[in-house]
Amino acid sequence: MNVRSQISMVFHLDKCIGCHTCSIACKNIWTDRRGAEYMWWNNVETKPGCGYPTQWENQEKYRGGWERADGKLRLRSTGKGKVIFNIFHHPHMPSMDDYYEPWTYDYQHLFNAPEGPDQPTARPISMVTGEPIDIKAGPNWDDDLGGSPIYAENDPNLEGLTEEQKQQLSAIERLVFFYFPRICNHCLNPACVASCPSGALYKRGEDGIVLVDQNRCRAWRSCIAACPYKKVFFNWFAGKSEKCILCFPRIETGQAPACFHSCVGRIRYLGVLLYDAERIEEVAKSPDEELVEAQRSMILDPWDPEVIRAAREAGIPDAMVEAAQRSPVYKFVKQWKLALPPHIEYRTLPMLFYVPPMSPVMASREQNEAVEHVSDDLFHDIDAARVPMRFLANLFGAGHEAKVRYALRKQKAVRWYRRALTVGDVEMETAERMLREADCSPEEAEQIYRLTSLCTFAERFVIPPEHREQAIEMLEDPGEHRTTAGFGFLTGPGRAM
């Protein structure tokens, strides 16, 4: 057993209201720079929809991530041989057209325009060329366009749905959609790291955050093609790759990342998971239907004395183990099995998990029939939901429905249980039966309810002390810097000429 710690995340999609506050918080801190204008390290997509960059889930087009071939794990288009051969031009790399051309407006014209019969307008100006442009797409061009023929219809996750199910999704006035906020997944088996010819990308040993060493990045661009989630971006001005850094300067000082901190719906949870790094390759090679369970199985129980002993041996500080014991992510992912990894079939082992959203029941049902639970099957509306199970399974279950159905049944049982307790319009007997059938005890239901609805800041974000000060002291002697230039400078300040 090789225990490592990983700062992991859960996004509770049933609570996301699609307000984009997270995106703006991130944009204002990190990507409001030349060359980074088009980047959204955090973005919120409408599902069904094409996403950002357009159709990023279509791996026939972008060929990102890993694939299993002859019992071996192989990068789909960015293995060593292919990267060397394609180093002058990567055939599957997205270009700016797949994202959008960033723009601003010529606001000065509103003030400077000569007097005339018409109101002056502020024309859109490209932030790349500085010339006027016709806006054709933006970062959220398909926002809320759940039923739209040009955007929602091209969602790669619609594969395998029947025509009837597709129509359900877009029935006029009853169309349905949900929000899908995305940041870097800080994967355990990151394709971006594995593909980098310069070895510029790396995973931090202490907390698993995946970063780009920009002093080593030479713009070979394979990370951009390799990441199946398209969460590594190319700064076209600096000529370097950039990505979500999970706000590590904030985490190191005990604050939640900006997108987490600002989340209005409080959908985001952050905590430590301990995992067995020896099993990464084995787990990533599992057959599609076993992937979700295999990834769960490599997450270790932080209360297990054996695990604690192995963690100490691996040099993990006790504070980190203690944080893992209080981790909300551990509860959602491992104990309750409510949270699922996105597109685990890309085999990067993402460490951001999603609680799948509940949705209204199918539109074509008769109103009365759908609402009441008269049948023996109390969960029949889970499969009759307007977002087809198959769609959610394509997103969160590698195409297999069982894990998604389990998570939705449990969520529903908790709702009915709380309803029986507080509203009282449901028989407690029924609610308890639902809990039993959903594999959930009343105590667990209370905990789920609490962490879902009443969670405080400290419950949602359990940030371990990182002890970076000790770590840095091992590499640099602070005394040496006392009278000189300070950390991070190569030359002393001196006197200006």
- What are the residues binding other proteins (CB under 8 A)? 80, 83-84, 87-91, 93-97, 128-131, 189-190, 193-194, 196-206, 214-221, 224, 234, 236-240, 280, 315, 468, 471-472, 474-475, 490
Least Å from the CB of residue 14 to other proteins: 34
Least Å from the CB of residue 211 to other proteins: 8
CA nearest to 339, candidates 275, 417, 271: 271
Amino acid making up residue 454: L
Least Å from the CB of residue 300 to other proteins: 18
Beta pairing class for 352-355 and 3-12: parallel
Distance of CA 136 to the CA centre of its chain: 26
Nearer to other proteins, 314 or 370 (CB): 314
Least Å from the CB of residue 13 to other proteins: 29
Is residue 398 within 8 A of residue 68, CB to CB? The reply is: no
Is residue 247 within 8 A of residue 257, CB to CB? The reply is: yes
Torsion-angle region of 212 (φ positive above 0: left; ψ -120 to 50: alpha; else: beta): beta
Nearer to other proteins, 66 or 379 (CB): 66
Cβ within 8 Å of residue 469, ≥6 positions away: none
Q: Distances in Å between the alpha carbon of 281 and those of 8, 189, 242?
A: 19, 8, 26
Locate 263 and state its tokens.
Answer: 């989340």
Locate 269 and state its tokens.
Answer: 């949870």
Is residue 476 within 8 A of residue 267, CB to CB? The reply is: no
Least Å from the CB of residue 350 to other proteins: 15
Nearer to other proteins, 87 or 264 (CB): 87
CA nearest to 345, candidates 306, 294, 297, 382: 294
Locate 211 and state its tokens.
Answer: 């970063």
Least Å from the CB of residue 193 to other proteins: 5
Nearer to other proteins, 80 or 309 (CB): 80
Least Å from the CB of residue 149 to other proteins: 27
Nearer to other proteins, 194 or 451 (CB): 194
Locate 295 and state its tokens.
Answer: 């990834």
Nearer to other proteins, 88 or 111 (CB): 88
Nearer to other proteins, 254 or 360 (CB): 254
